[in-house]
Structure 1
Amino acid sequence: MKTDILALFETHASGNRAGQICQGLGFENSFRVDVVGYSRGIWLLWRSGIGDMEIVESTDQFVVAKLRTGMEIVNMIVVYAAPTVIRRSGIWDKLAAVVQGLVGPLFNGGDFNTIVRLDERSGDMGFRGNKFTWRRGRVEDTFVTKRLDRVLCCPHARLKWQEARVTHLPFLASDHAPLYVQMCPVVGRDPDRRPFRFVAAWLTHPSFKELLVASWNVSLTTPEALNELSVKLKQWNRDVFGAIQKRKDGIVRELQIVQDALDLAPSDDMLSQEEVLLKQFEEVLEQKEILWFQKSREKWVALGDHNTKYFHTSTVIRRRHNRVEMLRNDEDQWTYDATKLENLAVQYYKSLIREDRECLNRTFTAIEVEEAVRSMGKFKAPGPDGYQPVFYQECWEVVRESVVRFVLDFFNSGTLPPETNDALVVLIPQVATPERIVQFCPISLCNVLFKTITKMMVLRLNRVIGGLIGPGQSSFIPGRLSIDNIVVVQDAVHSMRRKKGRKGWMLLKLHLEKAYNRIR
């Protein structure tokens, strides 16, 4: 594999001696040696021609380097922490101070000689390959494995190299596995498989409502009208709405020209033009923020705070976290091929049992249809048709008649038009780095039209569900929380401790899998 930068640890050589070793091994033919270890023996080598490297700081446990390639700057910190707690106690404060002083994208990796809990990780790039990077022992009784090596990056680096990934290579001569970082790996994608997605930022464009009214065909069924509208929206997005970032850059350039002219000769026309451009700039910022808020799936941050960078970072991290790149098969072998991964999932979930849907006999009304639509979260993940609830809620006066007719026709006839209940099956990882298909929870992303039908049933069942579900079931019932079980357990343990006498007490902890996690 082609390597541009190579870090070697625990070489037990430094200074001139290390340089002599590199020359003797022929590294100078493909690498230029800049840092040759110190007391810990860290070597940092890079390939000639990719840029110039400057050593910012070097200690006995880490080396800080800055690589310049053209106009770009990449900061790198190579760490080889001491194996004992006392000797590495001050490294974290030193690293924190160094990171604070760096500007630009940063990659920080190496042998940290310590482990952290999964929920403590921050900026971890994840990995492919075996879970552990260090092992010791030749027999089962003494065999120990840990993840001591990792690579971290800052949000700037994650945004710049969104496909960057870390691979744990096989153990060879060392008790540590090599870590291979690819900044721009080759990722094969079929653009034709990317489905249509309604963009909430379209709603802010002044010509959107006009396009909707002109394009919405009331003579068609709602799914047919949505399909026809999606084709026109794609064309409108290319021709009218355009790329938000390009429009933003264009407005900034025009503003610069106008403001330069105002510095030379102020005029009412120029001031009016500047006011128009500033208004357009605010509109573009709002559209960009809504776009990335919609993609990020973040619910706790309100719109209007110009959190575009945060939303963008959240989107990249969520996409990387949700992507299934490899899994172990039944023979405990890693599977990377996309077709084999798809077949693995199909084989595992092919025995899913489809539950019968309960049908209510009472006549539904148009008011209940609107109530169901309004009760959905605006930016809930869309189904196969690509439309989110925000489209229906913001355009209800236009689509109301068609949607109400479609939903009530189903309840009156009991017949569901083809493709209405189509869904996208998405695998949600239940652990930080899933290795097997059983570590995913399947969920179905349904179209809003289908969710409206089921939501109407749910809203009606909510009135009587309290009498149908036992008091011991805490989740998924209004007014009940899973945390209630913790309170009950704590109260039981407290009571047991206060019990006196010869009669003993016992508390059993049972681990029950959720029914929808493993359906067979």
Structure 2
Amino acid sequence: MDNFSRKFTQWQMEMVESIGASGGLGIMWKKNSAAFTFQTKIQNWMAGKVRALSLNLEFIIINVYGPIPTDKKRLVWQEIEHFLNNQDEKHIIIGGDFNTILYSTDKSGGIKTIRQPQRDFANWINKNNLLEIRTEMGFHTWNNRRIGFSNIAEIIGRFFLKGDLTDLKKELKTTVLPWSGSDHYLMLLELMGEAKQTACPFKFEMMWFTHEYFLPNIHKWWKDNVFEGSKMYCIVSKLKEVKHKLLDWNKKKFKHVFEEKSRIEKGLETINNVVMQNRMTCETYEAEKKLLCEYEGIMAREEIYWKLKSRETWLEDGDRNTRFFHNSVKMKRAANKITHIINDSDQIIMDQNLIAKDGTKYFENILNKALLNNIPKLITKGDNQMLNSKITHEEVKMALAQFQGDKAPGPNGFPAGFFRNVGIS
């Protein structure tokens, strides 16, 4: 510790000493960039509150080194869970070497079996509503550095988020750094500003189904627009017209979800102030009742909105999961963002326009005519006849029934749920 202080004068550190060659934890922070308040320090984990001075942002960070024995792992998960249950901080980041995989796909080589430690770890994550911050670059975080069939690589290092990102206006990104000599890979967690929003294409919103006049309007617009030509041309043309009608209806009638939510919350706050000063009257009671009814409806719409964007499918209807869906969207946006690429000349490109240009060029080169000519013909004559046969209504209904209604929409912006629930033809 003294050697560290002498070498890194602008840095401070809290640490848990290792036992021999095993364990050891440390949290470092730069004096002029962050302030750290130590809270808990145990053999396998430590926690403290960090305040980023330039951002005026506070969060709790928990550094973990998971023990090998199963019973000790359970004890560590219980200790951290008890700590989490006693925290009021909005943003909590948990990271480190958990010494266990989560899924069988987290392991390359060796025996891929989900054992009790993995089940305990998964249950602990779900119970504490932890959201994993997926890696943008890199995959395995540990490699035994052996060759051939003896090589084993695993994901045992992770970052998790507990809390609400809605007011953070930032994105979290995790990167597995290049090998540095150890069998463990270093992981970098970055707090990034949100990307500038570009013009977005039309996307159908499943929350529109909650409006009482939505379905009657859709059927009316569909019948009012008549086109001549092939059936496919007529369907595509009608969908375009319905799309324009929907955008106009959404703006004038359905209204912006978040603006409506803000309006209702301000109205409830005003009524609450009046009641505190002058007590409840029949007028304020009825006004509050009406706003609370509207608020329940707007909250249901908001949850549907974020659920569709997050593409999470395992949660059941019931409790409000809006915050989880919103955080999930932000995590996916961070994971899907391409900040840089390395081209064929080993140059790092960070400009978004150059990334798009180089990516287009790359795929044009590999998807050339010569490549397509070398693809073997696997479709038999019978398969070809079946594929070219006339599509029946029953086949279309069966295909729609097999789709999950709120998954990613097609190129026209309409998901399968639109056609399944509207029933137009």
How far did residue 35 of structure 1 move? 1.6
Q: Is residue 58 of structure 2 the alignment partner of residue 73 of structure 1? A: yes
Match of 2:257 in 1: 244
Q: Distance in 2 between matches of 1:47 and 1:205?
A: 53
Match of 1:259 in 2: 272
Which structure 1 residue ranges, 5 or more long, are not aligned?
1-17, 404-520
Task: Give 3-state SS (helix, strand or coil) of 1:164's partner.
Answer: strand
Q: Is residue 289 of structure 2 the alignment partner of residue 289 of structure 1? A: no
Write the mapping of 1:10-409 to structure 2, written as runs, cut at 5 A.
18=1, 20-28=2-10, 31=11, 33-39=12-18, 42-69=25-52, 72-81=57-66, 90-103=75-88, 104-113=90-99, 115=101, 117=104, 118=106, 120=118, 122=125, 123-135=131-143, 140=147, 146-147=153-154, 150-156=157-163, 163-172=171-180, 174-184=182-192, 191-192=198-199, 194-206=200-212, 208=214, 212=218, 216=222, 217-220=224-227, 221-263=234-276, 264-298=278-312, 301=315, 303=317, 305-313=319-327, 315=329, 337=355, 340=358, 347=366, 351=372, 356=384, 358-360=387-389, 375=401, 377=403, 378-396=405-423, 400=424, 403=425
Q: Distance in 2 between matches of 1:375 and 1:85?
A: 44
Residue 269 of structure 1 aligns with an amino acid whose one-letter code is: E
**TM-score normalized by the length of structure 1:** 0.57
Q: Distance in 2 between matches of 1:111 and 1:394?
A: 46
Q: Distance in 2 between matches of 1:90 and 1:100?
A: 15
Higher relative contact order (CA 8 A, sep 6+): 2
Q: Distance in 2 between matches of 1:43 and 1:305?
A: 38
Task: Go from structure 1 to structure 2 and tell me whether the alpha carbon gap of 1:142 and 1:278 turns closer, same or farther (over 3 Å shift).
Answer: closer
Q: Deviations over 1:435-460 (max 9, x none)?
A: xxxxxxxxxxxxxxxxxxxxxxxxxx
Q: Distance in 2 between matches of 1:87 and 1:211?
A: 61
Q: Deviations over 1:349-395 (max 9, x none)?
A: 97377964634469x68xx6995697465435321111134434554
Contact 1:373 1:389 in 2 (8 A): no
Q: Distance in 2 between matches of 1:322 and 1:332?
A: 22
Q: Distance in 2 between matches of 1:300 and 1:178?
A: 31
Q: Distance in 2 between matches of 1:380 and 1:113?
A: 34
How far did residue 57 of structure 1 move? 0.8
Residue 288 of structure 2 aligns with an amino acid whose one-letter code is: E
Task: Go from structure 1 to structure 2 and tell me whether the alpha carbon gap of 1:280 and 1:80 turns closer, same or farther (over 3 Å shift).
Answer: closer
Task: Go from structure 1 to structure 2 and tell me whether the alpha carbon gap of 1:93 and 1:244 turns closer, same or farther (over 3 Å shift).
Answer: same
Q: Distance in 1 between matches of 2:315 and 2:29?
A: 42
Which structure 2 residue ranges, 5 or more long, are not aligned?
107-113, 126-130, 228-233
Task: Give 3-state SS (helix, strand or coil) of 2:247's partner.
Answer: helix
How far did residue 235 of structure 1 move? 4.1
How far did residue 247 of structure 1 move? 1.7
- Deviates further, 271-280 or 109-118: 109-118
Residue 260 of structure 1 aligns with an amino acid whose one-letter code is: N
Task: Give 3-state SS (helix, strand or coil) of 2:133's partner.
Answer: coil
How far did residue 182 of structure 1 move? 1.0
Q: Distance in 2 between matches of 1:300 and 1:84?
A: 30
Q: Distance in 2 between matches of 1:98 and 1:219?
A: 64
Q: Deviations over 1:146-191 (max 9, x none)?
A: 447523213426775774222122233555432211121675x772
Contact 2:343 2:358 in 1 (8 A): no
Contact 1:38 1:59 in 2 (8 A): no
How far did residue 339 of structure 1 move? 5.2
How far did residue 291 of structure 1 move? 2.1
Residue 35 of structure 1 aligns with an amino acid whose one-letter code is: E
Task: Go from structure 1 to structure 2 and tell me whether the alpha carbon gap of 1:222 and 1:155 turns closer, same or farther (over 3 Å shift).
Answer: farther
Contact 1:133 1:145 in 2 (8 A): no
Task: Give 3-state SS (helix, strand or coil) of 2:387's partner.
Answer: coil
Q: Deviations over 1:449-500 (max 9, x none)?
A: xxxxxxxxxxxxxxxxxxxxxxxxxxxxxxxxxxxxxxxxxxxxxxxxxxxx
Task: Go from structure 1 to structure 2 and tell me whether the alpha carbon gap of 1:136 and 1:270 turns closer, same or farther (over 3 Å shift).
Answer: closer
Contact 1:124 1:150 in 2 (8 A): no
Task: Go from structure 1 to structure 2 and tell me whether the alpha carbon gap of 1:135 and 1:272 turns closer, same or farther (over 3 Å shift).
Answer: closer
**TM-score normalized by the length of structure 2:** 0.68
Task: Go from structure 1 to structure 2 and tell me whether the alpha carbon gap of 1:171 and 1:258 turns closer, same or farther (over 3 Å shift).
Answer: same
Q: Deviations over 1:489-515 (max 9, x none)?
A: xxxxxxxxxxxxxxxxxxxxxxxxxxx
Match of 1:10 in 2: none
Q: Distance in 1 between matches of 2:15 and 2:334?
A: 35
Q: Distance in 1 between matches of 2:164 and 2:273?
A: 34
Task: Go from structure 1 to structure 2 and tell me whether the alpha carbon gap of 1:127 and 1:314 turns closer, same or farther (over 3 Å shift).
Answer: closer
Task: Go from structure 1 to structure 2 and tell me whether the alpha carbon gap of 1:151 and 1:390 turns closer, same or farther (over 3 Å shift).
Answer: closer
Give the share of equivalent positions with the same residue, in percent.
21
Q: Deviations over 1:39-78 (max 9, x none)?
A: 5654422233444321111123332111135774311112
The structure number with the bigger radius of gyration is 1
Task: Go from structure 1 to structure 2 and tell me whether the alpha carbon gap of 1:167 and 1:27 turns closer, same or farther (over 3 Å shift).
Answer: farther
Q: Deviations over 1:75-111 (max 9, x none)?
A: 1112345678898785444334333433432222234
- Deviates further, 322-331 or 72-81: 322-331
How far did residue 254 of structure 1 move? 0.6
Task: Give 3-state SS (helix, strand or coil) of 2:202's partner.
Answer: coil
Q: Deviations over 1:307-331 (max 9, x none)?
A: 3334445555666677788999999
Contact 1:67 1:74 in 2 (8 A): yes
- Deviates further, 200-209 or 373-382: 373-382
How far did residue 209 of structure 1 move? 5.5
- Deviates further, 121-130 or 83-92: 83-92
Q: Distance in 1 between matches of 2:411 and 2:283?
A: 49
